[in-house]
């Protein structure tokens, strides 16, 4: 299933994509695409629906963040060896964890804000894991049972805020609109091999990132296992799993986003995003 949310900011409604690529409203069955809707029993009920009987959404509505109100928006840094090296760092021996504020969440095609005082706003295409069940201290062999599905994430970053303003990375990762998620969440049963997903990102039509999740240092199952050793993961939590090489920080010379530029990105089976950069 491909679950999504549509409508104006703050008033999104739950929906599902049918076999023809049409949006069908799910409001009669779930209140939102959130932790409750992503629980195994709920997903099982949704999977049995006759999609042709659901209300058809007409036109081209705004698409919101695929997930509503996650308790945590976690990220894994430097999870592709070639990306680590392009930023001047060695590949980590354990996953590097940080968080984005949940207020950074936005729709996949919403405008992305360049913050006040920013001159190093950067792009990072990532596979996002969406948790479906509460879990702590899970073994790697069992970790994928607790995953509801996967979504495309752009881990937008302000590099000066991240690295030169003191403290942890969260300051460079959490500006409003720095977390486009979607256009939909694909349930795990529709992903044949999560460690073989193609990723790409363009800026103004020029290819900047090309990668595949098979080159992750730490795979999806290991990440869920690993993070669960430090905190309880709950349904609806999002984990962005790191980015392949080609970010602006790694270019020679480093190149960052400016007002009016357009970022487009996509992943096999997970859809595409498009964001216009705007100043605030």
Share of the chain above pLDDT 70, in %: 100
**What residue ranges of the chain are covered by domains with CATH 3.90.850.10?**
73-279
Judge whether 163 and 87 are in contact, CB under 8 Å.
no
pLDDT at position 139 is: 98
pLDDT at position 196 is: 97
pLDDT tier at 236 (50, 70, 90 boundaries)?
Answer: very high
Among 215, 225, 222, 209, which Cα is nearest to 195's?
215
pLDDT at position 86 is: 77
**Count of alpha carbons within 13 angstroms of residue 180, beta-carbon side:** 29
Mean of pLDDT values over 169-180: 96
pLDDT at position 48 is: 97
Mean of pLDDT values over 207-216: 96
Mean of pLDDT values over 86-91: 78
* Dihedral angle over CA of 159, 163, 165, 166, nearest 10: 160
Q: Which CATH number is correct for 73-279, 3.90.850.10, 3.30.2130.10, 1.10.645.10, 1.10.10.10?
A: 3.90.850.10
Q: Name the least confident of 3-12, 43-52, 155-164, 265-274.
A: 155-164
Among 51, 59, 46, which Cα is nearest to 24's?
51
pLDDT at 165 over 90: no
**Count of alpha carbons within 13 angstroms of residue 1, beta-carbon side:** 25
Judge whether 201 and 180 are in contact, CB under 8 Å.
no
pLDDT tier at 164 (50, 70, 90 boundaries)?
Answer: confident
Among 158, 124, 120, which Cα is nearest to 247's?
124
Mean of pLDDT values over 257-270: 98
Judge whether 209 and 199 are in contact, CB under 8 Å.
yes
Mean of pLDDT values over 59-70: 96
């Amino acid at each position: 299933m491909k679950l999504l949310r549509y409508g104006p900011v703050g008033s999104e409604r739950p929906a599902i994509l049918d076999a023809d690529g049409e949006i069908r409203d799910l409001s009669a069955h779930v209140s939102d695409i959130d932790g409750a809707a992503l629980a195994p029993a709920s997903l099982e009920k949704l999977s049995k629906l006759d999609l042709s009987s659901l209300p058809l959404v007409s036109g081209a509505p705004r698409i919101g963040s695929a997930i509503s109100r996650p308790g945590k928006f976690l990220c894994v840094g430097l999870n592709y060896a070639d990306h680590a090296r392009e930023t001047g760092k060695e590949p980590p021996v354990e996953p590097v964890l940080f968080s984005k504020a949940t207020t950074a969440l936005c729709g996949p095609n919403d405008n992305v804000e360049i913050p006040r005082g920013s001159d190093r706003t950067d792009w990072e295409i990532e596979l996002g894991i969406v948790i479906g069940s509460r879990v702590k201290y899970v073994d790697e062999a069992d970790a994928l049972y607790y995953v509801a599905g996967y979504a495309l994430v752009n881990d937008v970053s302000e590099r000066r805020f991240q690295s030169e303003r003191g403290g942890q990375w969260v300051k460079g990762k959490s500006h409003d609109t720095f977390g486009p998620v979607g256009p939909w969440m694909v349930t795990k049963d529709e992903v044949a091999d999560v460690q073989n997903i193609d990723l790409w990102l363009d800026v103004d039509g020029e290819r900047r990132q090309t990668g595949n999740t098979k080159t992750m240092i730490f795979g999806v199952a290991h990440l869920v296992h690993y993070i669960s050793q430090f905190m309880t993961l709950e349904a609806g939590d999002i984990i962005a799993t790191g980015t392949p090489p080609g970010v602006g920080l790694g270019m020679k010379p480093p190149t960052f986003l400016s007002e009016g530029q357009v970022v487009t990105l996509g992943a096999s089976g997970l859809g595409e995003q498009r964001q216009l950069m705007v100043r605030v």
